[in-house]
Amino acid sequence: MPSISVCPKVFTASTPAGIPPQTLQAHFNRGFYQLGITPATLGRSVLITPNLCGPGLPEHHYSMTSRDAVVAAVQLIRSFGVEEIGLAAHPADYVAKLEMRDQFFDAIGIRSLASELGFKFYDLGIEGFEEREGIFVSSVLNRYETILNIMPPKTHHQSVVSLALKNIGMGCTDHRSNMHESLTDAVVRANIFIRQERNVIDIVHGGWGQEENGPHFGIGNLPGDLIKLYGR
């Protein structure tokens, strides 16, 4: 299996809870500046991969990426001159039947968010995958120069890795039942395949979060808007 050696730069900010997207954008911009992220770094196309996206499904509210964080990220990368933006999500085990996927994405509001902000939405469960040593990585990732990976702080009862690694390792892959048989190993391997070939920027936004036995049985909390950005 190929290996990857990444020592990321880290930006951290702490702000009052409930700040608007414009203020979030300013903090993200500070993070980009301190990490040395420039228009040339991003390129002309960026794919945003949230951990789904609220505010729908209140019972899972705290395990989903903040809508405001996605709005702030879109506004920022547009100011950097990015021409093509995509938003990608995998419905995971929330949807058992193919014909219910549209209803699910409409219920959580992620499809309408993409339409409102004027960019393409991808259902990663039906877009096609490339097999890499038993890991099925979404082919959508190949269409974009940079991946902006945005997630809340949350736990997972089956894995010792979470946050950015879990979000992209499971959110951009398929055959999930097989991956859950050895979840931590599968997430690490998926990240190796994805990150060694692509430019990935991670944002952990703590407008809300989750602790204890997540994601389905975790306890939601409001830790305040802790912001962490990771870049190479």
pLDDT of 77 higher than 90? yes
The DSSP output letter for 55 is S
Strand pairing of 45-50 and 84-89? parallel
How does pLDDT run across 18-57, given as a tens digit for each residue? 778 898 899 899 989 988 999 999 999 999 998 876 555 5
pLDDT at residue number 190: 81
Whether the Cβ atoms of residue 9 and residue 36 lie closer than 8 Å to each other: yes
Domains and CATH numbers, the chain: 9-227 (3.40.50)
Average pLDDT rounded to a whole number, residues 137-163: 78
**d(C-alpha 74, C-alpha 18), whole Å:** 18
